[in-house]
Amino acid sequence: MIITVVCDVLGEENNGTTIASMNLIRALKKKGHTVKVLCADQYRKNEEGFFVVPNRNLGKILNAYVDKVGVTLAKPDIDIVRNSIIGSDLVHIMVPLSLGRCAVKVARELKVPMTAGFHMQAENFTSYFKLNKIYPINKYVYKFIWKSVYQYIDGIHYPTKFIRDIFENNIKRITPGYVISNGVHNYVCKREIEKPEELKDKIVILSTGRLAREKSQDTIIKALYYSKYKDKIQLILGGQGIKEKYYRKLAKKLSIQPIFKLYERKEIIDVLNFSDLYVHSAEIELEGIACLEAIMCGKLTIVSNSNLSATRNFAVDERCIFKNRDPKDLAKVIDYWIEHPEEKKIVEQKYLESGQIYSQDKCLDEMEKMMFDILEKRRKVENVKTELFSNYVESHQ
């Protein structure tokens, strides 16, 4: 196949959408397919197979934020978009933003089949404006992306059944969906890694991901104030984001200050393996690859019970779930597992076993199968149209 992958958001591999995009691109190339990437990463202009549109100017403040989190946002150029799609067998759109919407328009004109990932939970967007709890606004976002993108898509890739159900419930339609996890790379696995010398006498709790409002890392920091073991706990927040300054201030009175660091992809897996507990506090989470990575390493993984987060479905034991945004309840859960090391070992083994279905190789095989499936369905439809047309012509001769 010749496949155009449309990436409104690409940049550094420090967020779930970019990681999913690059994993898919690399996997398709490895399988022998020709991949054309449509994006706004200016440094890729001379790279083979990349079609680069201009960057979107969001103004000084928002541009600075986008630069800080290491992503690029695209401003569509219709000629570049068309050139990236001409000759392709299939177009795959990562997110329903402006470049994706432009690609939909061009692909429809050129009659090229389309698949699209569902990597944008409405609440992720509205939370930036503190509107994520206003149901009509979230519903409007879902209806807008349905009308502008997904209604034209031949096959929709949902990373979880959770997000498929949310989307279909909001738009009141059954979609041509395929539930396939984005998967976890095979280098993410359980290893015996010793704690660094300076952490050997500490209880290490790790949480990874963007430091953002909807990820709720403030709940973890507040929980430490209530923990019986607060003077022994070393919290590591592996990520960066606009909330870092606030989180540092929030943690100021803790006797052991949290470690804030953006780790390299493979480095964070070592940290994960030597940690004692992993906490995924997100209130809004479409899939939660960071959480799946902890599970693949057999870590005791604690998640919130938020009804807007898919990660609550990953818990293998009810005692691993805390009340969303309730630091006192989270402190109780943390303390319980610190105090029950033998039970902790049993549950960690359950987590390790549950993670096997999230192997990235298996998931990307399913993605390829979805694409072949869409091409086959389109071929059959075209054959039927040709046959109907031929029958019509014969009957009127």
Please say whether the beta carbons of 13 and 267 come within 8 A: no
pLDDT of residue 12: 74
Residue ranges per structural domain of the chain:
2-183+359-390, 197-357
Local structure of 14: helix, strand or coil:
coil
Q: Round to whole Å and give the CA distance between 96 and 151.
A: 11
CB contact set of 361 (below 8 Å; sequence gap of 6+): 183, 186
> Which whole number is the average pLDDT over 78-103?
97
Strands of the chain (E only): list them: 2-6, 34-39, 50-52, 90-93, 114-117, 155-158, 177-179, 203-208, 233-238, 259-261, 277-280, 301-304, 321-322
What is the rounded distance in angstroms from the CA atom of residue 163 to the CA atom of residue 320? 22
Whole-angstrom distance, CA of residue 34 vs CA of residue 1: 6
pLDDT in tens, 48-78: 999 999 988 777 766 666 666 556 678 999 9
* Residue type present at position 220: I
What pLDDT is recorded for position 122? 86
Closest CA to 290 of 19, 10, 7: 19
Task: List the 203-208 sheet strands across, edge first.
Answer: 259-261, 233-238, 203-208, 277-280, 301-304, 321-322
pLDDT tens digits for 3-29? 999 999 887 776 778 888 999 999 999
92 conformational bin, left if phi > 0, alpha if psi -120 to 50, beta if neither:
beta
Task: Specify the pLDDT at position 393.
Answer: 58
The C-alpha torsion from 271 through 272 and 275 to 276, rounded to 10°, is: 180
pLDDT reading at 388 higher than 80: no
- DSSP H or E stretch at residue 241: none
> What value does the mean pLDDT take over residues 110-115?
97
CB atoms within 10 A of CB 306: 21
Quote the pLDDT of residue 193: 95
Longest dimension (CA), the chain: 90
**216-234 residue pLDDT tens:** 999 999 999 999 999 999 9
For 172: left if phi > 0, alpha if psi spans -120 to 50, otherwise beta; the answer is left
Q: Is the pLDDT of residue 280 over 80?
A: yes
Which pTM was predicted?
Answer: 0.86
CATH superfamily of 197-357: Glycogen Phosphorylase B; (3.40.50.2000)
On the question of pLDDT at 202 being above 60, the answer is: yes
pLDDT of residue 287: 93
CA proximity to 54, closest of 38, 65, 68: 38
Give mean pLDDT, residues 341-362: 95
Please state which CATH number belongs to domain 2-183+359-390. 3.40.50.2000
Comparing 191 with 382, the larger pLDDT belongs to: 191
pLDDT score at 11 = 75
Residue 203 CA to residue 58 CA, distance in Å, equals: 43
Would you say how long the chain is, in residues?
397
Q: Where are the alpha helices (DSSP H) in 300-359?
A: 327-339, 341-354
Q: Residue 4's pLDDT is what? A: 98
Query: Kind and range of the H or E element at 262?
Result: none
Give the pLDDT of residue 384.
Answer: 64
Q: Using one digit for the tens of pLDDT, what is the confidence trace for 114-164?
A: 999 999 888 877 776 677 677 789 999 999 999 999 999 999 999 999 999
pLDDT for res 394: 64
Express as a percent the part of the chain with pLDDT over 70: 92
2-183+359-390 and 197-357 have identical folds: yes
Strands 155-158 and 177-179: parallel
Q: What is the mean pLDDT of residues 83-103?
A: 97
